[in-house]
Structure 1
Amino acid sequence: MLLSAGAQAASCGAAPGLPDWARGGTYRGTLGSLPVALSLDPKGESLYFYEGRSLDLLLEAGHAGNQLVLQESVRRTLGSDPVVTGCFTLMPSGTSLKGTWQAPGAQGPQEVVLTPLDATRLPLRLPLSPGLSVLRRDHPLTFLKLNRPWVTAADGRSVREPLSGVRYPRVPGASAALNAALQDRQLRHAADALDCRATLPEDAQRDPQEGYNANVQVTLLNARLLSLREDVDYYCGGAHPDNWTQGVILDRATGRAVPLTTLFPKLSAARQNTLYLNAARGAVDAECLTVLRETTLDFTAHLSAQGLNLTPSGLPHVVAACAETVTLPYAALRGDANLSSAYVRTLYVK
């Protein structure tokens, strides 16, 4: 269990609350000889990271007189209380912050110099995309971590984000708009993966089996549509591991999401539920089928050559294993389909 903010701040010799001059902001600079970036949030969670490592360290803000004190603490092992690993003591110097950082028991402090960061002025190391622009504007620390060259597979069919290790499919010869949409989905996964690993205790951070693992597969690619299935399993230090599945249907030219109702306007939530339960009889064991029948189901959908695939989403953790995917053949959905749609015609090619 985390210590209270007041108790944590007292460990660095500070009282709760910020000095009058302190304002929220994002900073970049050095701690000793190492490059760091820091976000100060007077009303929320402050954090920083070493740019060579790129995992966030949480900070509790306090003050000692007119000095800003930021206490760094980590968990060494799962279930252990946080321990204080460093104390920032900072004062304003023009628009910058200057001061020291000292680890408990260290012989002396290290100098800290931080200057305000305007991430919108940083050059892009990735192709411009809507998600990257939002990240640069609203989440500059995450932008700093992910705005670097990614690694494209030799066959051009996937890209790996190097810090998180998240891989995501690409379509050789795809439009710039589709590539941007795929990059933005990968950005969200990569950011979530880094956030997840940062919340793990130190010993688990070194275990490649812990954290956030995304497996993304192209399930349909035709002249008009691209569909993918995203499967994520993760453990971020909470009560138990968890997982989820997300279906994705995109316009191959524009990269925009194609709602299921555009393809199958008569496929209401109630009809999805009925068709799913009918199809699940042969795919799901009796106990799970009972659970599914007694639950108000929501679904995520992806397309494949065989048909429309529905996967229950949002089931309670104790019955999450019952979220089996079933395939509804396109022939069985002809009456629900918008047969005048150019998208749908690609699914009913004779």
Structure 2
Amino acid sequence: MLKGLLRLAPYAAALFSLLSTAQADDGRRVFTGTLGKTPIVVELNTQQQDEVTGRYFYEKYHRDLPLSGALQDSTLTLVEGNNRYGDDKPLPTLKLEETANGWQGEWQNPQGKKLAVQLSEAKLAAPTSTTLPFIATLPASEPYEYLRLQGLKLKATKKENFMGYTLQWWTEPESKIALFTVESGLPKDDLQRVNQQLLGRLWNEVISYHGCQLQGGENVEFMQQAQPQLISPAVVSLNISTSYYCGGAHPDFGDSPLNIDVNTGHSLSLEDVLWVGEGTPLLHAERDSLGDQPLNEKESAARSTYQREVLVPWLVKQLTALYPEEMKKPAEGDEDSCDYTDESIWSYPSWHFTPKGLYLGAYFARVARACDAPDWSVLPYSLIKQHSGAVKLQLPQN
């Protein structure tokens, strides 16, 4: 089974036929070529000619180098890197002339070394029916990331038995992003659907890692840990905790769970599982074979209103009844305690399944982030079953 999954990975370029050109919907164009004799991939947005932005990576190393500059007539002048922390050090430059199919010119470092640059509009490998669904979306939305991922491979690490299911862990060595696939314990078709979602999430986290590297520069930190929380015939649930510094004033951290409907392979929203409003539950969104679609403006507004006016007051009431001591409002002037009665901290809770019930995590402002994600805030399945969401799931007994 896993050999078949590996064939779905983005580095299996032989499985693909060629597309025409690489251009994202927002005007970013992608080029491939050489800097000196070294292969590179370049992304440029020249729509605002006096503020051209871009990035590139050497195919051997995959790490982004930022580009900025201006386009005057057919001459593109770019600076590689930036002095974001107040440094005034000289930086490499690129001076390029537009050609019929790209750019050509030279790169020069501060010491005066010059190397020729040749760039052509990138030709992308088109996804086929066996391509991992997440990867199949990238040529249209993120062609630059699509080309980067084709040069990366996953490394199999440990195997683990979790709740009677065999998990195979995978690591992308450069980013050290790790996640698992389910090797046994589910029917074959269910395994394929679930593992496509899990591998898609792994590659998406690799993209996030590189985005953080580009934004944060030399002082970046990006550490991540994934933990399975519940696996059953109905759901696969895991939590992904990330600690990161991508530039800015402070480091940060947060949880980003993934909850998969085994029957369809789609991720679940909280409204799919728990609904305490009137009428028909809000479905997360229309689904299709390429994955979950984003909420449109009307759906997003309805969801926000429901969460603020219905879900959060209900949630605070239920948690207060279940955990009166933990939810007790701190005494006035007690700044060291966590106020879990504050409705704002439950507005967009991170959530996942557990053997005992549905876990929902609070989210505090930065000054009280130590109060985030209390370990006790679990709603028992006996309560969840009284308020089923849009997707009918076979939940554990408790």
Q: TM-score, normalised by structure 1?
A: 0.79
1:136 aligned onto 2:142: no
1:171 aligned onto 2:182: yes
Separation in 2, partners of 1:341, 1:179: 20
Tell me: CA distance 1:82–1:29, structure 2 relative to 1, closer, same or farther (3 Å): farther
Contact 1:301–1:310 under 8 Å retained in 2 = yes
Deviations 1:65-117 (A, max 9, x none): 64211111234xx83336442111111333131111001122x4111111110
Separation in 2, partners of 1:289, 1:339: 34
1:254 aligned onto 2:302: no
Tell me: CA distance 1:302–1:61, structure 2 relative to 1, closer, same or farther (3 Å): same
1:88 aligned onto 2:94: yes
1:189 aligned onto 2:238: no
Q: Paired residue for 1:266?
A: 276
Contact 2:271–2:390 under 8 Å retained in 1 = no
The CA RMSD over aligned residues, in Å, is 3.0
Aligned length: 314
Contact 2:327–2:339 under 8 Å retained in 1 = no
Contact 1:74–1:84 under 8 Å retained in 2 = no
Tell me: CA distance 1:278–1:97, structure 2 relative to 1, closer, same or farther (3 Å): same
Q: Paired residue for 1:14?
A: none
Separation in 2, partners of 1:66, 1:259: 48
Tell me: CA distance 1:200–1:295, structure 2 relative to 1, closer, same or farther (3 Å): same
SS in 1 for 2:196: helix
Q: Paired residue for 1:291?
A: 339
- The one of 352, 363, 368 equivalent to 1:319 is 368
Tell me: CA distance 1:179–1:290, structure 2 relative to 1, closer, same or farther (3 Å): closer
- The one of 109, 113, 119 equivalent to 2:114 is 109
Q: Paired residue for 1:19?
A: none
5+ long unaligned stretches in structure 2? 1-26, 160-166, 185-189, 278-310
Partner amino acid, structure 1, of 2:94: F
C-alpha displacement at 1:281, in angstroms? Answer: 4.9
SS in 2 for 1:85: coil
Separation in 2, partners of 1:71, 1:335: 58
Tell me: CA distance 1:288–1:300, structure 2 relative to 1, closer, same or farther (3 Å): farther
SS in 1 for 2:373: coil
Partner amino acid, structure 1, of 2:75: Q
5+ long unaligned stretches in structure 1? 1-22, 205-209
Separation in 1, partners of 2:321, 2:336: 13
Separation in 2, partners of 1:263, 1:152: 33
Contact 2:327–2:341 under 8 Å retained in 1 = no
SS in 1 for 2:257: strand
Identity of aligned residues (%): 21
Q: Paired residue for 1:310?
A: 360
Q: TM-score, normalised by structure 2?
A: 0.70
C-alpha displacement at 1:51, in angstroms? Answer: 1.7
Deviates more, 1:164-173 or 1:150-159: 150-159
